[in-house]
Structure 1
Amino acid sequence: LVPTTDRAAVGEMLKGLAGNLDVIIPRGGKSLVGRVQTEARVPVFAHLEGICHLYVDRSAKLDMAVQIAANAKMRRTGVCGAAETLLVDRAVASTHLVPILEALHAAGCEIHADAEVMKAFADASLATDADWVTEYLDAIIAVKLVDGVAGAIEHIETFSSHHTEAIVAEDAQSVETFFSEIDSAILLHNASTQFADGGEFGMGAEIGIATGKMHARGPVGVEQLTSFKYRVRGSGQVRP
């Protein structure tokens, strides 16, 4: 642990302290994490934003979709696993969209919707391009209709921060496609994005959730930080 909060010390640590630092795990505000990711000369386990998506498939059970959407957004709005964008399959817009949005609205959530969604739900404001790339950390959610799982994947791969994405569906093929084709650290089926937590994963105290491609990806606990050292004991063997 570094006992100082002086930002000047951050710059020295980012240089690696002449090889005395193996890895940096930044815990702090967005500006700190961004600086570490930009300037570090040593490996970084971090995520800058949690732009998490919840996709409701045409095969989703309505009651389950309503419950999961409300929890994913409103249980705790300020955590990195809170859903920031809701994608609904256009095929069930007439049955699933309004009940989900009514539940969110009743819970105090502000709805930013595309033009198509606004036609079905008047208590919303028109989404801008910025909404699809915003981590609100507040009772606000962006909502869009998509053409099935393929449309959801296209949107997520375009705008996601690769933190956590969830699908509500009963169709096994839709789930398999979602899990196979989305490159995010955590993927959930029929469960709230708020389960994105090291404690919930059985890893104990969480240091953070890494969205990079190093060996520690997803929830990071002490075990995930462990590296390897191979000890080979011989009795005179030589390699032919």
Structure 2
Amino acid sequence: MPDHESIYRREASQYHELIAKQPGLKETIEEIKPVSGLDIVDMGAGTGRLTTVLAPEARSIIALDASAAMLEVTGERLRAAGGPRKWSTHVADHRELPLPDQSADLIVSGWSICYLTSMNNPDWERNLEEVIHEIKRVLRPDGTVVILETMGTGFETPNPPDFLLPYYAALVDKYGFSHRWIRTDYEFDDIVQAERLTRFFFGDELANKAVEQNLVRLPECAGIWWKHNDC
């Protein structure tokens, strides 16, 4: 399996090429919380998958990530888009957000918190508790948090990794999140691109499957967890 931490530090451009093959998620998020005029924080923003689609209607947006290289791409994309007027990027840890209390109307986090809350991390429960504490601290009283995580790549229906199941259960059972799932398929230009980008991020097994089955459309499922601060 590729080293994702190294990818995020050193190969931000190719990572962005991959995720650009997925559908935008603005409508999905707006089904939970309309974004117009909000102060938004994107935790684990990466190359701006969520930041750039939410920014045009936001009052302000702050992109946070552990990788400066990823945030450089996000900043370039925000500058190119020309909005909103008030935006910034910051290298940050989810467990210690560099933000004032009650400063955000909406916090989103896509495919990011899982790196702290996998069962492979012996401190996952404490990490999750600290992340949730920071989210609650930063959200305004009527604010909302939306978390997206993998429910399986290469599958038509949810098939989440076993090592993330306790984290997903804790979001619902301990922290009171609502939950559903959607499809976030990759639509590649051709099988050559599908093989290259799949091998780059997901590894040989899935890339070989893509080639054998000619998966120019690579299926993926994602989970969405959300909670309103007044709940």
State the TM-score bracket (shorter-chain normalisation): 0.3 to 0.5
Higher strand share: 2
Higher helix share: 2
The normalised TM-score by structure 2 is 0.37
Find the structure with the greater CA-based Rg. Answer: 1
